[in-house]
Structure 1
Amino acid sequence: MDKDIMRTVCEQDMCCGCMACVETCHKDAINIVDSLRAFNAVKNDNCVECGLCERVCPQNNTPTANDSIAWNQGWARDEKTRIGASSGGYVSAISKAFVKSGGCVCSCVFENSEFGFKFAKTIEELKGFAGSKYVKSNPKGVYGKLKQMLREGEQVLFVGLPCQVAGVKNFVGSKLQDGLYTVDLICHGTPSPLVLDKFFNEHGVSLGDIKAISFRYKVHFAVYKDNQSMVPEGNVDSYTIAFHHGYSYTNNCYECRYAKKERVSDVTLGDAWGSSLSELSSGKGVSLALCQTEKGGELMRMADILTYDIDLDIAIGHNAQLNAPSLKPANWEQFFGDMAKGKTLDRLVKKYMFKAYIRQVVKYICIKLHIVKLGGIVYQINYQKHK
């Protein structure tokens, strides 16, 4: 479709990909167009201009955001929960407590070659939720079911990115909020899943062959056996480098309306970077929690976690997205232009992030010569193939 004649649900190239508009449309009149650099929710000829999609869109309608009333740092008391998590394990501990209380958790999981969302009512079903996902996930298919569960009096905890939490709250509506609990994850930005697919294909791997995937891990506490990676242990792959340098996000992320101190969720969770507890944590990670509502306080109290005070200014100072969106690199357009021409992510990182590329070369040499020891959290894609 010609970009100039797109009839989009929200401002062109600003779609966050939450899929709430797709699910609220009863006419199958919305298609999500993914161009690597941007998502667009595009209306097709079935559209009757009822306006439901615009109203549910979190880019058009921002739910009420609140200041934090409490902020903590710490980790899960249970060692297995903590080791299996990408940070201090707060997300997993809260989810386990919620399930044990009789509630249902809805969160992201990698399954059938996609990062989608599922519901979990048992501890066993929660296992696929652990770990950070440095890619856009797709909640399509869960909105209606979640709303129906709330209508039937169930309590549901939704764990997702801030824009996804906003989409859920808009879809559910104000009358069903009592049974809905929400956790948003501090987000730098997210790439299209097509970027991840491209990266794997460049290394001769298909997402269809992969059983499990992690984007960072604790080097001395691996929870998966038979892990594979595109780079040696301790080095950072080009997908992860591009992510951390803010090159690979979709266009909307650089103007994110949810990257601020006021949050739309009950609890905001992330990494407690710069924490005074880093040495005490033994390299297992420290979680950060910002609590906005009494519901959020309830979630924190029910979880089996250790909590310590943290200075909010320090927390925000080490999590820039609690203040503002990620900055778009000056040559972001050229980066995606070269990607569209078929250049590999390895070549793009070498061209646009040369210092980071050289650091990995030096790090590889230092690891081989045993000058640098591996430890702590490693940022590297690891995966397991189906047997």
Structure 2
Amino acid sequence: MINITNPIDCCGCTACASVCAQDAIIMEPDVLGFLYPKVNVAKCTDCGLCEKVCAFNNNYDKSLNLPKPDVYGARHKDMREVESSRSGAAFIAISDYILELGGVVYGVGYKEYFCVCHKRATTKEERDEFKGSKYVQSDLTGIFRQVKQDLKSGRIVLFSGTPCQTAGLNSYVGKKLRDNLFLVDIVCHGVPGPKLWHDYIEYLEHKQGDKIRRVNFRDKQLFGWAAHRESFEFVQEDGKKIFKELFYKHIMFRHSCGVCHFCNTTRPSDITIADFWGWQKTNPDFNRDDKGVSLVFVNTEKGRKLFGIAKENLNTFTAELENVLQLNLQSPCTVHTKRMIFENDYINKGFAYVINKDYDKLCIVRRMADKAKKRIKKLFGK
């Protein structure tokens, strides 16, 4: 049976809980809201499927991958789609085709109180909720089984998520059902905890004395595509927004993000999508208006066929792999040195305390103190 003794060994994808025929595994949240599997020993038959299905390792399935991905810059031809999407709206063009075939699209939206979760869409209107970045780990409870049921019923399915989620789903679904499953991952820099996000919403509403009606993790309309500023719109303020920069910091990431196995160009999906940072090196005229451009990796033959059709609604240009290697295509994020101090402060002192504490400054002060101690030791031999 699966037994997570070190949190860095689990990405929370739910594949182990989904594969258990006895429903002996539940996903329990830790203090930051990250889910980890817990086995009910009384129900467990020790079949080993939960351990076998885990894809959070270097041996994830690469059997369908091309020797080298095809690389593109892309932007939707309809600027309304670009302006309402995070980057160049490549995902909209890809998912439109799946929906036009009568297929199903899974992506990240919200449930009550802006809780970030995966959802199922069968129309473009439902799918549009998946637009935009959501820098919180999504709740996948029940989603993998729902995907498998759609595949068994003969539906074409497009699932989008982080690479650890697509790798987990690929392993859970298995090769027999893979033909009708299209996987799209994002270049992920790490995920903050759902509990922190919930507390953040409560904190802002209490501070404003008003309910939030709309959130935007990266407000492109006001700050341009390259900015990383969150905006929050309140009910009683007639469209007034406040702006913060919090949910892009490594100090609140899941432990496993620091050892991510997918920070490379051999992706666990048919297509990979990201912001195209460094587009100027390849096509300096393409994004002069700062509206956004998507980086697209086509990783499999299936991905080639799908993207080949989606390109009819995209303006694209080809790029060389070596010119697009942003940091999280080379190595995992660096876990903040004060990550555990942050977590302990959150447990003992609450969200309001940690949001107002400068942990980066604490690191600088500590480094200065360490350097001073070294100089004193060198001078006085103590």
TM over 0.5: yes
Partner of 1:320: 327
Match of 2:39 among 27, 40, 43: 43
Q: Distance in 2 between matches of 1:262 and 1:226?
A: 37
- What amino acid does structure 1 have at the position aligned with 2:323? I
Q: Which amino acid aligns with 2:297?
A: L
Larger radius of gyration: 2
Match of 2:10 among 15, 18, 30: 15
Q: Which protein has the bigger helix share? A: 2
Q: Higher relative contact order at CA 8 Å, sep ≥6: structure 1 or structure 2?
A: 1
CA contact 2:16–2:53 (8 Å) conserved in 1: yes
Residue identity (%): 31
| Runs of 4+ in structure 1 over 6 Å off | none
What's 2:299 paired with? 292
Q: Distance between the aligned counterparts of 1:348 and 1:77, measured in 2?
A: 40
Pair 1:227 & 2:233 matched: yes
Give the whole-Å Cα distance in 2 for the aligned partners of 1:291 and 1:112.
Answer: 35
Q: Aligned with 1:159: secondary structure?
A: strand
Paired with 1:213 and 1:275, the residues of 2 have a C-alpha distance of: 28
> In the aligned structure 2, how far is the partner of 1:272 from the partner of 1:346?
36
Q: Secondary structure of the equivalent of 1:143?
A: helix
Q: Gapped runs of 5+ residues in structure 2?
A: 225-230, 363-382
Aligned-pair Cα RMSD in Å: 2.8
CA distance in 1 between counterparts of 2:108 and 2:262 reads 19
The match for 1:310 is: 319
Counterpart of 2:187 in structure 1 is 186
1:287/1:43 Cα in 2 relative to 1: closer, same or farther (>3 Å)? Answer: same
Query: Structure 1 residues 247 and 43, CA, compared in 2 at 3 Å: closer, same or farther?
Result: same
- Give the superposition deviation at 1:85: 0.4
Give aligned pairs, total: 338
CA distance in 1, matches of 2:35, 2:154: 35
Pairing of 1:59-98 with structure 2 (within 5 A): 59=56, 62-64=60-62, 66=65, 67-98=67-98
Letter in 2 for 1:41: P
- Give the Å deviation of 1:249: 0.5
Deviations 1:229-273 (A, max 9, x none): 9xx968533x22xx2x31111111101111112111011100001
Task: Name the SS for the 1:219 alignment partner.
Answer: helix
Secondary structure of the corresponding residue to residue 329 of structure 1 = coil
- Residue by residue over 1:287-320, the C-alpha shift from the partner in whole angstroms, topping out at 9 and shown as x without a partner, is 100111111112212221111122322211xx21
State the distance in 1 between where 2:307 and 2:206 align: 40
Aligned equivalents of 1:174, 1:226: Cα separation in 2: 43
8 Å CA contact retained: 1:32, 1:42: yes
Q: Single out whichever of 343-352 and 186-195 deviates more from structure 2.
A: 343-352
Following the alignment from structure 1 to structure 2, what is the Cα–Cα distance between the partners of residues 36 and 292? Answer: 36
Give secondary structure in 2 for the equivalent of 1:54: helix
| Unmatched runs of 5 consecutive residues or more in structure 1 | 1-6, 356-387
**Structure 1 residue 204, shift from structure 2 partner:** 3.2
**Could you give the per-residue CA deviations for residues 116-173 of structure 1, whole angstroms, max 9, x where no partner exists?**
2222222112111111110010222122222122223221111111011011111111
TM-score by length of 1: 0.79
Give the equivalent residue in structure 2 for 1:381.
none
- Structure 2 match to 1:362: none
CA contact (8 A) 1:20 1:140 kept: no
TM-score (norm 2): 0.80
